[in-house]
Amino acid sequence: MLINNRQTKYLIFILLILNVKLQSQIAPASPIIKKISADPLTNCDSIIWYRSTSPDADYYVIGIADISNPLDPIHLDSIGIVYAPDSIFVNCQSQSSSKIIGYSIVAYKKVTNGVLPSGFNTPDSTIFLKAQFDTCNLEVKLSWNKYNKWRNKIKHHYINIIKNNKIITIDTLDENVLNYVYNKINEKDTLIFFVTTINNEGLISNSNSVKICSNFKQRPEFISGDYVIKKDSKNFVIHFSIDPKSEIENFELYNSNNANNNYEKIKNIKTNEKEILIETEVKNPDNINYFKLIALNECNNNVKSSNPICNLSINLINYNLKNIITWNEIFQWMGEIDHYVLYRIVGDNEYIDSFNISNNTKEFIDDISNLADILSKLSNPIFCYQLKALQKNHPHNLNYSIFSDKKCITIFPEPQIPNAFIPGNPSGRNSTFRPIFNYMPDKYIISIYTRWGNLIWEGNDAWDGRVNGSIVSEGVYVYNLKVYHKGKMIKEYTGTVAVIR
């Protein structure tokens, strides 16, 4: 049968109508999600997608799924509708701050008998950030999941904090790094953490945000070891100053005879005082003792240690009428030593003096020869010394002083005794035998004996070498010298002296 042109045109028209009707019964193409990202300030999720490639899609339905367990079947719940051509939806009722959430978009078009939906793609997951706050070690441990559709397409993860309404990126991590430890938490801090993931196309997705409030006891910024005093033969008194802003109440006191190590805990202390005065006994009180105070947080972890502070100890030796005083260095005293003051107490506080000494010396020689007359009158010829170190430039304006223990030495008359003399020497030099004292005692007695032990002379003055008016024979004689102070014999010397004629 032949078909003319008019029939051909009519047939084509009918086919076009049938094709339109057929096309109207075909579901639209599934849209593809471009990205999902949370707002770190509001924790609202933004879902952005590429529009369906079917131009007759009328609207989109946003579906949400719990995909915390990837083995569970996916079940989408509808949470909203967006009419074409819009392609963004904001969900502020999400649970994405507590678990991983998945989103998928379904396109719909209206048909005569209802609507036709597109299929749905596997949901794009949110990035769920978890934070574990370790209050004992003052650190936050962060962990998160990858954006499931961006696997092997992720370029970087950025770690961000929001502090005082300012976003700060604190680190950049590689694709496969999914955890981070932040250890710069301060007392009374409020920090908001979130992770930003960027893919190779430059798209970004933010995780949920997590707020950390470090609402715990304020730790001390400093503990100052101020001074140590040796109270008696076994006990020391130690003073510490605590940062006034500190809220810590638990401390431990440590002791050592070595400035740098071998510290042992000797006392637990609980106090909210900002000046702590501690009296304690130590194992080796005769040595230089070092102390430090350690602050403990709620987990009994060491959060701050003081500088080591030691006692100031002096050594004292006598050489004739010179007393030599030396002392140890004050190890790691905060600030500097301004100067020393040395106190001298003579007798039963019958004479007191002090000397300012430069901060760069550890020795002082006290020449007491000018005190010879005073010494002869003292009932107790004892010299005692105590040293004070004065502090300056303490970083927290806590300048203190340290006193040493008191050291004493008795200064008795010490004689120099000649071993020969020339009785009757015309020049008068070396013509008598007598002791020469550093200062004159109350009394002394010299007894002269022959080599056979016979007493030939005794007196409390110089011996001129005569017995019964005649100079004794040349030779060696034995002497005995007894020195008295305030009626008591304090020393006795025996030796020989040669008589030369």
pLDDT, one tens digit per residue, over 289-311 is 999 999 998 888 898 999 999 99
Whether residue 171 lies inside any domain: the answer is: yes
pLDDT band at 32 (very low <50, low <70, confident <90, very high): very high
Helix, strand, coil shares of the chain, percent, nearest 5, are: 5, 50, 45
Give the per-residue pLDDT at 348: 76
Q: What is the tens place of the pLDDT at every residue in 418-473?
A: 999 999 998 889 999 999 998 888 899 999 999 999 999 999 999 999 999 999 99
Same domain, 368 and 320: yes
Residue 138, Ramachandran bin (φ over 0: left; ψ between -120 and 50: alpha; else beta): left
Whether residue 15 lies inside any domain: the answer is: no
Q: Kind and range of the H or E element at 169?
A: strand 166-173
Tokens for 162?
Answer: 């929001």
pLDDT of 93 over the 70 cut: yes
Domain final residue, candidates 287, 310, 333: 310
Same domain, 58 and 120: yes
Domain final residue, candidates 390, 410, 430: 410
Give the per-residue pLDDT at 221: 94
Same domain, 372 and 403: yes
Same domain, 176 and 243: no
Whether residue 1 lies inside any domain: the answer is: no
User: Is the separation of the CB atoms in 125 and 148 below 8 Å?
Assistant: yes
Whether residue 3 lies inside any domain: the answer is: no
- Mean pLDDT throughout 8-19? 42
pLDDT of 488 over the 50 cut: yes
Give the per-residue pLDDT at 18: 39
Whether residue 10 lies inside any domain: the answer is: no
Same domain, 193 and 230: no
Same domain, 137 and 182: yes
Same domain, 138 and 114: no
Same domain, 237 and 184: no
Spatial CB neighbours of 452, under 8 Å, sequence gap ≥ 6:
none
pLDDT of 72 over the 80 cut: no
CATH number, domain with residue 146: 2.60.40.10
Tokens for 215?
Answer: 């609402």
pLDDT of 9 over the 60 cut: no
Residue 167: give the domain boundaries.
Answer: 129-213
Output 266 or 122, whichever has higher pLDDT. 266
Domain final residue, candidates 185, 213, 241: 213
Whether residue 9 lies inside any domain: the answer is: no
Same domain, 243 and 326: no
Same domain, 423 and 465: yes
Q: What is the tens place of the pLDDT at every residue in 339-386?
A: 999 999 998 776 788 999 999 899 999 999 888 888 888 888 889 999
Same domain, 305 and 354: no
CATH number, domain with residue 437: 2.60.40
**Range 469-496 burial, b when 16+ CB lie within 10 A, else e:** eeebeeeebbbebbbbbeeeeeeeeeee
**Which residue type does 476 have?**
V
Whether residue 7 lies inside any domain: the answer is: no
Residue 9 three-state SS: helix
Backbone angles phi, psi at 377, to 5 degrees: -100, -10
Cα 349 to its chain centre, rounded Å, is: 44
Same domain, 320 and 390: yes
Give the per-residue pLDDT at 2: 42
The pTM for the full model equals 0.62
Spatial CB neighbours of 428, under 8 Å, sequence gap ≥ 6:
none
User: Is the separation of the CB atoms in 151 and 192 below 8 Å?
Assistant: no
Whether residue 14 lies inside any domain: the answer is: no
User: Is the separation of the CB atoms in 385 and 407 below 8 Å?
Assistant: yes
Domains contained in the chain, number: 5
- Annotate 317-386 with three-state secondary structure: EEECCEEEEEECCCCCCCCEEEEEEEEEEECCCCEEEEEEECCCCCEEEEECHHHHHHHHHCCCCEEEEE
- Mean pLDDT throughout 277-294? 95
